[in-house]
Amino acid sequence: MNVRFSIGSALLAVLALAFGSGCATTTDWVTGQRVRNMYTADEEVKAGAQYFAQNVGELRKENVPVNKDPDRVALVREVTGNIVAVAHNVNLPYQATYVGDPDVVNACAFPGGNLMVYEGLLDKNEGLVRTEGEFAAVVAHEVAHVNCRHSTEALTRQMLPNLLIAGLMIYASVKDIDELQWATAGLMLVHNGLVVTKYSRKDELEADRVGMTYMAKAGYDPAAAPRVWERLAGASDSQAKKALSIISTHPRDYLRAQELRKYLPEAQALYEAAPVKRDGNRNITRSTPGKSGP
């Protein structure tokens, strides 16, 4: 087989795939604008459900309790339901799951609507939120990620450059050009370290902003949202973290709080117009058994 022809065919195939992945467009549910996304809504729901099921399976293999605390499950699903009711797309198969892992201070969303809330998020001493309103801010942020379709849009953005870089690596390897191999490896590091994380930080800020409008429409005072990040900034923001913020997938906590405060007047107007006002000041924390309490 002619090696030159094989390399050329491989590169042409890579370019064709890259071009095809960049041509898929759809309407953004939140902005109404046309955006690049190679996944349909149905594909996104299916992929998200599969990934969610895999994660739940891994948790159960490790004997981590999943939906075993009725009071916490009820709280998580109530707040999630309130937020989902005012989201841009209310027809997704949303499902909120409570994971009884006190060492994980987190909540996350999967494409298509599945959410996970970890016990550590609500711990009295080590958690991130204190009140129902602050918890609503975190849930609304995750629901915003789902509605903005950040996961599949990110995959679409990364597909084209990753395919092109892979094509260069194939060429450099077959031709045994060490300089090009090193240059391509460096290009991948730059792309993943700067370009990908830049878009990720942009997505986080969008989810913060959209999430704050969701919680306001759902009847939670949006002033709780910046408080969450101000608390985290006070607890963890260090010189090292500041120095590394350029290659972080999340913006620095105090910057998130500042951005949220810029949009707070707009969100407050939505809150005042909301048909239902909820008790966002209700304390929902409790000490995790086995951990030191006050």
Chain segment 166-216, per-residue pLDDT in tens = 555 665 566 556 655 545 454 444 434 433 333 477 888 899 999 999 999
Beta strand 114-118 with 95-99 is parallel
Contact 271, 219 (CB under 8 A): yes
The rounded distance, in Å, linking the Cα atoms of 155 and 47 is 12
**Confidence (pTM):** 0.75
How many C-beta neighbours within 10 Å does residue 4 have? 9
The mean pLDDT value of the chain amounts to 77
The rounded distance, in Å, linking the Cα atoms of 229 and 53 is 30
| 223: in domain | yes
The rounded distance, in Å, linking the Cα atoms of 285 and 46 is 34
Convert 63-77 to b/e letters by CB count within 10 Å (16 or more is b).
ebebeeeeebbebbb
Higher pLDDT, 210 or 255: 210
The alpha carbon torsion through 115, 124, 135, 220 (nearest 10 deg) reads: 160
Q: Which residues constitute the domain of residue 224? A: 3-273
pLDDT of residue 187: 43
pLDDT tens per residue, range 149-170: 888 777 776 655 555 555 556 6
**pLDDT tier, 48 (very low <50, low <70, confident <90, very high otherwise):** confident
Contact 122, 129 (CB under 8 A): yes
Q: Half-sphere exposure of residue 157, counting CA atoms within 13 Å on the CB side?
A: 16
- Copy the structure tokens of residue 190: 């730059």
pLDDT tens per residue, range 227-239: 988 887 776 544 3
Contact 129, 284 (CB under 8 A): yes
Higher pLDDT, 70 or 247: 70
- Copy the structure tokens of residue 293: 């309490």
The phi, psi pair for 51, rounded to 5°, reads -65, -40
- Copy the structure tokens of residue 35: 């955006």
| 288: in domain | no
Q: What is the mean pLDDT of residues 253-257?
A: 78
Helix (H/G/I), strand (E/B), else coil: 81? helix
Lowest mean pLDDT among 27-31, 109-113, 181-185: 181-185
User: So which residues are the catalytic ones?
Assistant: 142
| 123: in domain | yes
| 98: in domain | yes
pLDDT of residue 151: 81
pLDDT of residue 70 exceeding 90: yes
Higher pLDDT, 138 or 181: 138
Number of domains in the chain: 1
The rounded distance, in Å, linking the Cα atoms of 6 and 10 is 6
The rounded distance, in Å, linking the Cα atoms of 58 and 269 is 43
pLDDT of residue 35 exceeding 50: yes
CB neighbour list of residue 15: distance below 8 Å, 6 or more residues apart: 163, 164, 167
pLDDT of residue 112 exceeding 70: yes
| 222: in domain | yes
Contact 110, 52 (CB under 8 A): yes
| 95: in domain | yes
| 63: in domain | yes
| 290: in domain | no
Q: Which residues pair with 97 in a beta bridge?
A: 116
